[in-house]
Structure 1
Amino acid sequence: MSRIRLTVAYDGSSFKGWQSQPEGNTIQDNIEAALLKVSGEALRITGSGRTDTGVHAIGQVAHFDVPESSSMNAGEWNRALNVNLPPTIRIIKASMVEDDFHARFGAKEKTYRYEIDIGPVLNPLRVSRAWHHPEKINCEILRRACSVYIGEHDFASFAANRKDGKDINTVRTINSIEVAECSDGLTITFCGNGFLYKMVRLLVGAAVRVAEEREEISWLEGMLESPGTAKCQYCATGEGLYLVEVIY
């Protein structure tokens, strides 16, 4: 049996996140439905991680195992899947990989980008693609606030609770954070070895709170020094978040 790696891009606006749900309409559900149409078999895909409702991706990675009955090469799978997917989900690349490649457990680093539109009026072309935040944000304070997150920390205060009841390790390493100003707003790019449920959105929400001068940087430092004692309550919207790249 052969294994295929997929690089997937999607506009998450109309989907209920990545992971399959009983009510359907997730990215995984749509790709698996396309696989069924192409192969005639119920094939499962494994993604590098979950993205939430409304979150977008430029470089999500997934894999699936090709049934032995198939003679299609990676390029043929790529084209066939795109024919059977909605236009807001695209397979950017399909490639044959070793049988031990694992999209989730093999990931070494992920890059997420968060986009904030600070204009007084949101451009209609940015609807569902950026967090509209017309209130004043001090960019220098934002950079200093984000720098607090860099390094290995227990991010329990910046993780939402999933409802599966599982205990998870909340220690993660953020390798770099870049805050960039552009004509219509700000982008914050996070690179790290992994991210918890809603972690990037909570980090952004808290840093913006400081950059609005409503909280001090010491407030962020306190949540990192006493992880989980207090939970961050400021979660940025999902529509501004993009999974950009997964490194193996």
Structure 2
Amino acid sequence: MRRADATLCGMTDTRRRYIPPAGHVRLRLTVGWDGAAYAGWQSQASAPSVQDTLQGAFQHLTPAVFRPVAAGRTDAGVHAEAMPVHMDVPEGFGVPLPRLARALNAHLPPTLAVLEAAQAPSGFHARFSCAERRYVYRVLRTPHRHPLWEGRALHVRGELDAEAMNAAAASLTGTHDFAAFATQEDRQTVRELRGLSIVSGQPIWEIHVAGQSFLRHMVRGLVGTLLLVGAGKLEASAVTGILASRQRAQAGANVPAHGLYFSGASYGRRDFGEQGRD
């Protein structure tokens, strides 16, 4: 999945650039979607995207809008629980903010919804102001598949060792070169992984991932490697060697997109008061 470079995300010394065009105001939305319906967030010429679908709903309310900008650009099939988005609309935009989410949802398909709409703080940019992005990968750990989790979680029939997985995850947390877990990445590959943990449940296991920015398919590569550890096919101690190798072939395969959710993002104090907010 494509992410903003770490050198861009969270920059506050260039906030003067993050202003809407003249005659427009910036709105901040929280959006959720079912990834199975879209070829990802980014606009596509020949496939439905979240960006185009959301812009189309705005154009029912006013034709003079810019493209929406999200905190992260998810791949095809990846879901979003709470994606921050900003949108620049004309100053005379007539829909009151308390009614905007409902008005937009009336023009959106069931697979996409605006959960919240508000005035954006001065200098706010959904992508470049973002200080942290969070994902969760869901695994259905049962002997048999369940139709209600089809397309929502990866089905794993065998046993998983949560303790071993968390031991491996701990050795991956921090600032490292994550080239071994990225796919066709041409940017610099050093990233700070701020959180990686496994929460076992019945029947759903969750793998939580947090960082400022990620490489393409990095989260799915990390999860694929941890599942090998959990299944006893890879020693927990081996992940440090995989990390050091910088060779994609050494790590586990990318897990399918349908188990991955963008779960939230955090912004700095200057964006949402003294404590910041998700």
Fold equivalence (TM over 0.5): yes
TM-aligned CA deviation for residue 233 of structure 1 = 4.8
Q: Paired residue for 1:226?
A: 245
8 Å contact from structure 1 (residues 145, 211) kept in 2: no
What's the RMSD between the two structures over aligned residues?
1.7
Runs ≥4 in structure 1, deviation > 4 angstroms?
A: 228-231
SS in 2 for 1:108: strand
Normalization by structure 2: what TM-score?
0.83
Return the match for 1:71 from 87, 91, 94.
94
Does 2:241 match 1:243? no
Alignment of 1:27 onto 2:50: yes
User: Using the alignment, how far apart are the partners of 1:36 and 1:125 within structure 2?
Assistant: 34
Say whether 1:199 aligns with 2:218.
yes
Give runs of aligned pairs for residues 44-83 of structure 1, distance below 5 A. Answer: 44-83=67-106
Aligned partners of 1:131 and 1:42: how far apart in 2?
38
2:121 aligned partner: 98
Partner of residue 9 from structure 1, selected from 32, 54, 59: 32
1:89 maps to a residue whose letter is: L
Residue 260 of structure 2 aligns to which amino acid in structure 1?
L
1:183 maps to 2:195: no
| Structure 2: unaligned runs, 5 residues or longer | 1-23, 268-278
Aligned residue type for 1:160:
T
Offset of 1:68 from its aligned partner?
A: 3.0
Q: Post-superposition shift, 1:140?
A: 1.4
Please give the secondary structure, in 2, of the residue aligned with 1:80: helix
Q: For 1:144 and 1:29, locate their aligned partners in 2 and report how far apart those are by CA, in whole Å.
A: 41
The secondary structure found in structure 1 opposite 2:199 is strand
1:106-117 paired onto structure 2 within 5 Å: 106-117=129-140
- 3-state DSSP of counterpart to 2:148: helix
2:152 is matched with 129
Match of 2:16 in 1: none
Q: Report how far residue 231 of structure 1 moved.
A: 5.5
Structure 1 residue 50: Cα displacement: 1.0
SS of equivalent to 1:244: strand
CA distance in 2, matches of 1:200, 1:229: 13
Q: Is the 8 A contact 1:35 1:43 kept in 2?
A: no
